Amino acid sequence: MSFEPPRRQMARRIDDQRPRAGSLGIVVVGLIIVVGLVGALVMLAGQSRPSAGSTQSPAVSAPASVSATPTRRPASEAPEPAPSATQHPPTSSPPIITPPTTPPSPSPTVPASAAPTSAADFDLNGQVIDIGFPLRADSKYHYRDNWLEPRAGPPNAYNHAKVNAKGELVRLHDGIDIYAPEGVPVLAPFDGTIIDPATRWSPWEPDRYGLTVVVESDEPGTAGYMAVLVHLDADWVEIGQHVTRGQVVGVLGKTGNAEEVRPQLHFELRAPFLIDWSAIGEDRQVDAFNPYQSLVAVDPHDQ
């Protein structure tokens, strides 16, 4: 019987240095708790510190004697809300009424050079009123001051007249004769209405005046004044028609007692009131006055 020596075994330390599974888990949990506490502290520190651009004031702890929770004020002490941009504060004054943005149309104003409105202000020797010349500027015409020259035939109440050396009552010329070629257009001297001369002056004599157009002004400065256009060859207007200054109302001719003379426009101006002419030797009141000065003032050939 043979003898085998015993096998040799490696020696092992009794105190094993490897960490056990249970101890490792405890270490990990501890680290997590520590990290969480550190993070919480960092976050709290960040919230208590205002940012660089922040306007928030740091929190101030209320005194011990003051409650941190605000108390509700009674309704009688509650402040009134501030008025908004579109809300007006209450006032005892009446509301302001805004005037309309579109102003009313202005009423016609009477010019400073308006014609007289009564005989008391009338210039017997040289009254001038605002008219338009009754012929076109391209017309060939001429005239002179032949107002109050003697005329044939008995005068009517609306004609100028004067007693001559023989004691006879002589009819005088009531206007100015403007000589021009037959057929020249005749113009309205102002804005106005065509009226029938027989309704203003009686007895009206067509055989003497021939074809006649009368324009009664409705312009502010000459309202009621009348222009009498006599001896026309034709008229292009009707009674009651409204015309404007410069509108053609007919053509020049030689009707009435002008048949045996040169074609002419007998032009009269008459006021809306009677004028006493006794100061210049006439014992009567007539509305016709000398149109010569008014014609010269607007004669296009003299401008």
Pick the CATH number of 122-302 from 2.70.70.10, 2.60.120.560, 2.40.240.10, 3.30.420.80: 2.70.70.10
Q: Share the mean pLDDT of the chain.
A: 79
The whole-number pLDDT of residue 202 equals 96
Q: What is the Cα 178 distance to its own chain's centre?
A: 41
Helix (H, G, I), strand (E, B) or coil at 178: strand
Walking along the chain (303 residues) 10 residues at a time, the average pLDDT comes out as: 50 47 56 62 52 42 40 42 46 48 51 89 96 98 97 96 93 98 98 98 97 98 98 98 98 95 97 96 95 97 80
Report angle CA 284, 289, 292 to the nearest 5 degrees: 145
Dihedral angle sign, alpha carbons of residues 12, 14, 15, 16: positive
The whole-number pLDDT of residue 24 equals 55
Closest among 273, 253, 274 to 211, alpha carbons compared? 253
The whole-number pLDDT of residue 280 equals 87
| 264 beta partners | 179, 253
Q: Provide the CB-side half-sphere exposure for 37 (13 A, CA).
A: 6
Residue 81 DSSP class: P
- Tens-place pLDDT, residues 197-235: 999 999 999 999 999 999 999 999 999 999 999 999 999
Closest among 189, 199, 196 to 221, alpha carbons compared? 189
What is the signed CA dihedral for 4, 7, 8, 11, rounded to 10 degrees?
-140
The whole-number pLDDT of residue 82 equals 46
DSSP secondary structure of 227-269:
EEEEEEEEE---TT-EE-TT-EEEEEB--GGGTTS--EEEEEE
Q: Are 250 and 237 in contact (CB under 8 A)?
A: yes
Burial bucket for residue 109 (CB in 10 Å: 0-12, 13-18, 19+): exposed
- Regarding beta strands 185-187 and 248-252, do their DSSP bridges make them parallel or antiparallel, or are they unpaired? antiparallel
Q: Are 207 and 232 in contact (CB under 8 A)?
A: no
The whole-number pLDDT of residue 265 equals 98
| Residue whose structure tokens are 């510190």 | 49
Global pTM value: 0.65
The whole-number pLDDT of residue 301 equals 94
Closest among 265, 280, 129 to 210, alpha carbons compared? 265
Structure tokens at 75: 């309704």
Q: Are 190 and 131 in contact (CB under 8 A)?
A: yes
